[in-house]
């Protein structure tokens, strides 16, 4: 796989509502923070970096939509002084200062805003990170690739921001809803599913991706579960051969994430018209299902909503 070029493409896709990566679970270093979240504390972030949090952050910047959503869910919106250009949920995030993105970070603006901490998705932009760190600003990175890692990131961010109680409740609500959905599909027929990450080139969600996990939890088989890597390119020939019964794709066209009903119908028609796709069961049974792109593509607090969308797409008989 052309790993570097694919990674670049995925970063662009994910910032528009899609997300990608695999990282170790986040955990707090033993003995560095009390149960009450007293500072200073030492944490190991999502990429395995040991980070010292000297005080409760009063000025926060997030340059990742998924992390911004977590921060808002924990109730620290008043401490957020800026977000990325693509942070659009909740709606209040649109009113915050903008500081670029993970690959076009406005370093000067970030330093000017004097944040206590900057939350970054994945490695971010190396040069920007160096300049931010040199200004004495703490950087914490997360790149969750499973529900467990998302919950771990929520727990860690709760500790960092002094909102452990809120984080615990959020995690309990999410795990409870997840278990309800899994129980709901337990005795349903297992269906073969294909998830389209991108159309040209055709890309999908493979093993190790949170989309693969969502498909499995929704009581289905990901036909790309044996592909190489979490976000591989996939041939139309392999797709036709595997013959999925459900074809799920994010409802977006390029950077347009808010499609009208007519545009969604056009997206379905475009998939059906692709050469060879007429042989696929999903096309024959009219099971091409567009889903809300930002919900299904961000590894954050709405991941269980994404699971619910997958359950509805795969098992419409339960709705």
Architecture, CATH, for domain 22-177: 3-Layer(aba) Sandwich (3.40)
pLDDT digits (tens, 9 = 90+) for 164-217: 999 999 999 999 999 999 999 999 999 999 999 999 999 999 999 999 999 999
Q: Cα angle vertex 161, ends 209, 56, to 5°?
A: 145
The highest-level CATH class for domain 187-318 is alpha beta
Q: Let me know: does 282 contact 194? Beta carbons within 8 Å.
A: yes
pLDDT of residue 17: 44
Q: Residue 288 — very low, low, confident or very high, per pLDDT cuts 50/70/90?
A: very high
Q: Residue 116 — very low, low, confident or very high, per pLDDT cuts 50/70/90?
A: very high
Nearest to 122 by CA among 49, 60, 43: 49
Average pLDDT (235-242) is 96
Q: Residue 241 — very low, low, confident or very high, per pLDDT cuts 50/70/90?
A: very high
The percentage of the chain sitting over the pLDDT mark of 90, rounded to a whole number, equals 79
Quote the mean pLDDT of the chain: 88
pLDDT above 80: residue 9? no
pLDDT of residue 254: 62
pTM of the model: 0.86
pLDDT of residue 257: 61
Q: Which residues of 74-93 are buried (b: 16+ CB within 10 A; e: fewer)?
A: bebeebbbbbbebbbbeeeb
pLDDT of residue 261: 85
* Cα–Cα distance, 254 to 13 (Å, whole number): 9
pLDDT of residue 19: 38
Nearest to 105 by CA among 75, 78, 127: 127
pLDDT above 70: residue 37? no
pLDDT of residue 262: 87
pLDDT of residue 259: 67
Average pLDDT (152-162) is 97
pLDDT digits (tens, 9 = 90+) for 293-313: 899 999 999 999 999 999 999
Q: Which segments of the chain belong to CATH 3.40.50.1980?
A: 22-177, 187-318
Strands 50-53 and 41-44: antiparallel
pLDDT above 80: residue 70? yes
């Amino acid at each position: 796989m052309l790993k570097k070029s694919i990674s670049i493409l995925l970063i662009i896709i994910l910032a528009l509502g899609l997300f990608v990566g695999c990282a170790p679970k986040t955990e707090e270093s033993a003995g560095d923070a009390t149960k009450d979240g007293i500072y200073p504390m030492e944490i190991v972030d999502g990429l395995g970096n040991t980070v010292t949090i000297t005080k409760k952050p009063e000025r926060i910047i997030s340059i990742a939509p998924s992390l911004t959503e977590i921060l808002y869910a924990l109730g620290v919106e008043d401490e957020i002084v800026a977000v990325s250009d693509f942070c659009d949920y909740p709606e209040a995030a649109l009113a915050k200062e903008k500081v670029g993105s993970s690959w076009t970070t406005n370093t000067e603006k970030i330093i000017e805003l004097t944040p206590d901490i900057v939350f970054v998705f994945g490695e971010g932009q190396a040069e920007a990170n160096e300049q931010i760190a040199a200004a004495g600003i703490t950087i914490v990175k997360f790149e969750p690739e499973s529900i467990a890692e998302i919950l771990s990131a929520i727990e860690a961010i709760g500790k960092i921001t002094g909102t452990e109680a809120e984080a615990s409740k959020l995690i309990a609500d999410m795990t409870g809803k997840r278990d309800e959905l899994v129980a709901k599909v337990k005795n349903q027929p297992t269906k073969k599913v294909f998830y389209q990450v991108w159309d040209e080139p055709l890309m999908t969600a493979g093993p190790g991706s949170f989309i693969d996990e969502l498909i499995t939890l929704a009581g289905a088989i990901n036909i790309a579960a044996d592909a190489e890597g979490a976000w591989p390119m996939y041939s139309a020939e392999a797709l036709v051969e595997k013959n999925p019964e459900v074809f799920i794709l994010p409802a977006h066209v390029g950077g347009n994430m808010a499609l009208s009903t007519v545009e969604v119908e056009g997206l379905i028609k475009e998939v059906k018209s692709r050469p060879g796709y007429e042989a696929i069961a999903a096309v024959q049974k009219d099971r091409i299902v567009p889903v809300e792109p930002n919900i299904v593509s961000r590894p954050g607090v709405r991941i269980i909503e994404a699971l619910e969308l997958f359950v509805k797409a795969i098992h419409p008989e339960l709705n």
